[in-house]
Chain A
Amino acid sequence: MQIKTYISMAVLTTLFLSFLGCAMQPAPTEELVLAESQIEQAKKEYSYQYEPLLIKKAEDKLASAKSLLENDKNGEAKYLLDEAKKDAEAATALSAAKKSKKLYEQSQNSQNMFKQQLDNQSEPTQPGELSP
């Protein structure tokens, strides 16, 4: 009898503690703020133009995380917020690289045009051409 009582008490305690554990997981407020600001940052830097899929993913995850938070599913929400933040960071970094590449190509083009201009200018002033 006694053993049975002990077992049932242990089971109940475990269940209670695990329930308490779930309920006690803190809301990821910091992660929410970070994800939101990272997405804003990415948008400010026109990452949507270069990495639209990553930005979309980040926004979708942020929206899903918010509805999970309303249902107190803090653990799942935290995962999604971390991922959304990383998506936005990746979008910013990859689009910055694409922008820099474009600028580099433009600078190379203008450099080549300038060189060509110099070559064209130097042609008529060959040494000796003006001298008798």
Chain B
Amino acid sequence: MTISIKCRTMNYRTVTSMSCLLLIAGCASNQAPPELEKQKQTLNEMENSPVISQYAPIERDEYSKLVSKTEEAWQKNKDDLYKHNLYLAERQADITRGTADTKNYQEKIRESAQQHQVMLQQSQEDRLSSAKNRASSAEDKIKRLAQELENAKTKKTDRGMVLTLSSILFESGTAEIKPGSERTLEKLATYLKEYPELKVVIEGFTDSVGAASYNKQLSENRARSVMQALNENGVDESRVSAVGRGESYPVTDNTTPAGRQQNRRVELIINEESEAS
């Protein structure tokens, strides 16, 4: 009797253990192979990726279908179809990733080009406004200089700001500056030293009395005299040049002494160094 009970107990235990083993085996056989699990995990990541959702939703849907087909083939134990579908799914994952990356980079390139355009426009605007500032400041400086000098007029021309000095007087027929004009030249030199960025072209003019060639030479000599005076007063030679224009470009007619007086003049064309060069 005792023996039969023991036997029965044994049988129950054996049956239980066997059942457990079978259950485990059953569970194990339901576990998808790692390569399929990997695809399911990748799909899950892609479903949560904003970049993929934005740029490759159709490709991802196709991937999802292929992963499902792969799983179905595995469940139905169709080994060849499973391997085939798994391969297609893996490539579709590449296609999805590649498409999303391409569009994402293209978008970034577009943004970068727009940014570049904005920066370019900004820099052009900055350059323009700084050029305007420079021009107006050069203009201001020359106008201030004209106010300090006696009998000086300013005029804005294509060549730059022109300062006409009628207070610089010469001995008749010579290039020698009259003593009374020295004060004007000193002031001019002081001013030019204060603004080293200003460059000056000195142009000499005469009235129409005498031969034109003589007047041309005389005007050049007079312009040179002014240049020399400025150099002597400390203005660097490289900033000043002299040209004789003779009786050309009269500002008024030469028929009256007053008219001739006005035509005998020295003009200074003043530019800022960066503009002049």
Contacting residues, chain B, for A87 (C-beta < 8 A): 91
- For B194, give its contact among A92, A101, A132 (CB under 8 Å): A132
Smallest CB separation, B256 vs chain A (Å): 41
Complex Cα distance, B96 from A90, in Å, reads 9
Whether a CB of chain B sits under 8 angstroms from the CB of A36 is no
The listed residue (B88, B102, B113, B195) touching A93 by CB distance below 8 A is B102
Contact between B134 and A130 (Cβ–Cβ < 8 Å)? yes
The distance in angstroms between the C-alpha atoms of A86 and B91, with both chains bound, is: 6
Number of A-B pairs, beta carbon distance below 8 Å: 81
* Interface segment out of the listed A5-13, A15-23, A63-71, A111-119: A111-119
By beta carbon, the residue of chain B nearest A115 is B119
Q: Are B105 and A132 in contact (CB under 8 A)?
A: no
In the complex, which residues of chain B have a beta carbon less than 8 angstroms from the beta carbon of A114?
Answer: 116, 119-120
A94 touches B119 (CB 8 A): no
Tell whether A107 pairs with B95 under 8 Å between CB atoms, given A83-B84, A130-B134, A131-B137: no
Q: Are A94 and B84 in contact (CB under 8 A)?
A: no
- B248 at interface by CB-CB < 8 Å: no
Task: Output the nearest chain A residue to B101 by Cβ-Cβ distance.
Answer: A97
Q: A93-B99, A97-B101, A107-B113 are in contact. Are A118 and B91 (CB under 8 A)?
A: no
Known contacts A83-B87, A100-B109; decide if A90 and B98 are in contact (CB<8 Å).
Answer: yes
Number of interface residues of A (CB under 8 A): 31
Which residue from A82, A108, A115, A130 sits with its C-beta under 8 Å from B197?
A130
Partner of A100, one of B80, B84, B102: B102
Q: State whether the Cβ of A2 lies closer than 8 Å to any Cβ in chain B.
A: no
Set of chain A residues within 8 Å of B123, measured between Cβ atoms: 118, 121
- The minimal Cβ–Cβ distance linking B153 to chain A, given in whole angstroms, is 22
Q: Which residue among A86, A95, A114, A122 has the maximum number of chain B CB atoms within 10 Å of its CB? A: A86
**B17 CB-CB contact with A under 8 Å:** no
How far in angstroms is the closest Cβ of chain A from B141?
Answer: 8
Residue A27 lies at the interface, judged by CB distance under 8 Å to chain B: no
Contact (A83, B94) CB under 8 Å given A101-B105, A104-B112, A130-B134: no
Whether the pair B91, A90 counts as a contact (CB closer than 8 A) is yes
Q: Shortest Cβ distance from A39 into chain B, in angstroms?
A: 13
Q: Is the CB of A90 within 8 A of B105?
A: no
Within the complex, which residue of A92, A95, A104, A111 is in contact with B105, where a contact is CB–CB below 8 Å?
A104
Once bound together, how far apart are the Cα atoms of A97 and B109, in whole Å? 13
Cβ contacts under 8 Å, B105 to chain A: 97, 100-101, 103-104
Question: Most chain-B CB neighbours within 10 Å: which of A93, A94, A95, A131?
Answer: A93
**List of A residues within 8 angstroms of B109 by Cβ:** 100, 103-104, 107
Enumerate chain A residues within 8 angstroms of B108, measured Cβ to Cβ.
104
Contact A90 B95 (CB under 8 A): yes
Q: Please report which residues of chain B, range 70-106, place their CB below 8 angstroms from some CB of chain A when the two chains form the complex.
A: 80, 84, 87-88, 91-92, 94-95, 97-99, 101-102, 105-106
Nearest Cβ in chain B — how far from A36, in angstroms? 17
| B-chain residues with CB within 8 Å of residue A131 when the two chains form the complex | 137
Given A89-B91, A118-B119, A132 and B99 contact (CB-CB distance below 8 Å): no
Show 8 A/B contacts (Cβ-Cβ < 8 Å), sorted by A: A89-B95, A93-B95, A94-B97, A94-B98, A97-B98, A97-B101, A107-B112, A114-B119
Q: Which residues does B use to contact A, with CB under 8 Å?
A: 80, 84, 87-88, 91-92, 94-95, 97-99, 101-102, 105-106, 108-109, 112-113, 115-116, 119-120, 123, 126, 130, 133-134, 137, 141, 194-195, 197
